[in-house]
Amino acid sequence: MRIRVDKSSAVPYYHQIKEAVRALIAQGSLKTGDMLPTEVSLSEQLGISRLVVHRALRELVTEGLLIRQRAKGTFVAPPARRSYTVVGPLFGMTESFAGDDLGPQNQILVQEVIRAEGSLQSELALSEGAGVVHLVSLRLIGGLPLAIEDMYLPADRFPALAELDMNNQSVYATLDRLYDALPQEALDLVSAGAATQEEARLLGIVKGAPVMRLQRTSTDRHGQRVEHSKVVFHAERYQFVARMQRSA
């Protein structure tokens, strides 16, 4: 398994490793059941701490892409079964919660421009070395933490998002107002998981507590990619409900 870490990049080493492994899985270079190198060998190969490698692989296990087998090693997990039967209106989180009169708040934790790499570059259909605006926000309802939203948008197309004060602001409304690029279609992947230490700290829960994860890639009315986002929900404060009907 050949991956690299750019030590001159502002992107944390563990995140670079995560995205590199994720990309190898998406490309088919790593297949279901393939065994990954040990953490020791990876740390030696990359010239970084074993703890950094451990965090990257642990988070991929939490996200369901890898599985650990005691006394055997770490392996690529079988792909999750996906269903695309839910159809409904597309809202950003701010619009969705505001419509329910829940008094949503949005605290920006990270606002930066980084280089798109690995699966992120593919998800946003960007050229190599392209920049993305990276926004991490803590979503609150009634002053209580509800979700952590990790959003990536093409920087060349939406440069103002790197500078504007986005606290308590809707990204979707801003995209519509400044760029006429309101997302019109999105693919959402919903799964269950366990909270990492940092997720637990932000959501006010214990490490390993159940969380709901949502991954979204959206496009505008021209079919251009607008965002790739990952949201981690407090499992006791958010429910995903789908209404099904058997066709005649």
Read off the pLDDT of residues 183-240 as tens digits, 9 standing for 90 and up. 998 888 888 888 989 999 999 999 889 999 989 999 998 989 999 999 999 988 777 7
- For the entire predicted model, the pTM comes to 0.67
Fold type of domain 93-234? Chorismate lyase (3.40.1410)
Percentage of the chain lying above the pLDDT 90 cut: 46
The pLDDT value given to residue 11: 85
Give the lowest-confidence range in 15-24, 32-41, 98-107. 98-107
Mean pLDDT of the region 175-189: 91
For the chain, the structural domain boundaries read 13-76, 93-234
Question: Predicted confidence band at 102 (pLDDT cuts at 50, 70, 90)?
Answer: low
Name 141's Cβ contacts closer than 8 Å, sequence gap at least 6: 97, 102, 103, 104, 105, 237
Predicted local confidence at residue 101, as pLDDT: 54
Please write down the HEC assignment for all residues of the chain. Answer: CCCCCCCCCCCCHHHHHHHHHHHHHHHCCCCCCCECCCHHHHHHHHCCCHHHHHHHHHHHHHCCCEEEECCCEEEECCCCCCCCCCCCCCCCHHHHHHHCCCCEEEEEEEEEEEECCHHHHHHCCCCCCCEEEEEEEEEEECCEEEEEEEEEEECCCCHHHHCCCCCCCCHHHHHHHHHCCCCCEEEEEEEEEECCHHHHHHHCCCCCCEEEEEEEEEECCCCCEEEEEEEEEECCCCCCCCCCCCCC
pLDDT tens digits for 114-138? 998 878 888 899 988 899 999 999 9
pLDDT average, residue stretch 62-74: 85
Looking at the DSSP bridge assignments, the partners of residue 190 are: 214
If pLDDT is split at 50, 70 and 90, which confidence band does 95 have? low
Local confidence band at 38 (pLDDT 50, 70, 90 cut-offs): very high
* Residue type (1 letter), 190: V
Whether pLDDT at 146 is above 60: yes
Structure confidence at residue 81 as a pLDDT band (50, 70, 90):
low
Which residues, including other chains, have CB under 8 Å from residue 180's CB and lie 6 or more apart?
none
With a pLDDT cut of 70, the percent of the chain lying above it is: 87
pLDDT value at 10 more than 90: no
Cα R_g (the chain), whole angstroms: 19
Q: Which residue has the higher pLDDT, 95 or 232?
A: 232
Average of pLDDT values for 157-164?
96
Residue 165 token pair: 């004060």
Q: For the domain 13-76, what is the CATH code?
A: 1.10.10.10
